[in-house]
Amino acid sequence: MEMNFSGKKVLVTGGTRGIGAAIAVGFYNGGAAVAVTGTSKKSAEDFYKNHPQKEIRFIELDFSNLEASQKAVAQIASETFDILVNNAGINKIDFLEEIQLEDWQRIQNVNLRGPYLLSKALVPAMKTKKWGRILNISSIFGVVSKEKRLSYSTSKAGLIGMTKNMALELAESNILVNSVSPGFIDTELTRNVLGEKGILEMVSKVPLKRLGRPEDVANLVMFLASPLNNFISGENIIIDGGFTCA
């Protein structure tokens, strides 16, 4: 799905691969000026290798490092972005008794603190323009959960709560804030975690009998950020092929 985002500036965190890359390319194809963040220059090299001739700017930003991320966010805040997509996220699975504090903290820092820092930094300019769109990429595990997902589910449920609060606070400034909760999406990370056997097992549990594609999520995000949406705010939209209602 291609929409017209000419004249809009878009920032996509974690935008060098998977869902984030599909979102960034979708906005770029729609005419937006797009910047993506990643944790290293290597991630940028991989992105440009997979998407040659795309004039998408890379910003190095690692939310697990507070001092470095605050400096990067301050620099980003000197610009004006119309659309912010908080997509960067990490996960590490463990049972409650086995979770290490440093792992718990890192997941919360990237998945929750990062969106908070960037939203806080970019909202003032959106308020000045009386227009803005913020999309938070949560997860079905922010709505339902599964064993070994305590740290991740906590962060993603928190992101949904953050979405609702920001939508209420920013509505008067015509800033719409929504979250999108993908289910199992066919990315390199998903295939590495599940393996071929796990993929087949998961597909059998999805009513649509396939994994989602990154472009499926990108299309939903772009719709919510587009002129087609003027009245949806504070919502968490699940995109999982029917998995959570089966």
Total residue length of the chain: 246
| Residue keyed to tokens 């953050």 | 162
Q: For the chain, first and last CA: distance in Å?
A: 27
Beta-carbon contacts of 64 under 8 Å, excluding residues fewer than 6 positions away, are 39, 90, 106, 109, 110
- Closest to 113 in 3D by CA, of 63, 76, 75: 63
Among 28, 48, 116, 152, the one annotated catalytic: 152
Q: Is 23 helix (H, G, I), strand (E, B) or coil?
A: helix
Catalytic site residue 116? no
- Closest to 159 in 3D by CA, of 143, 175, 173: 143
| Residue keyed to tokens 């997902």 | 149
What positions carry a catalytic annotation?
152
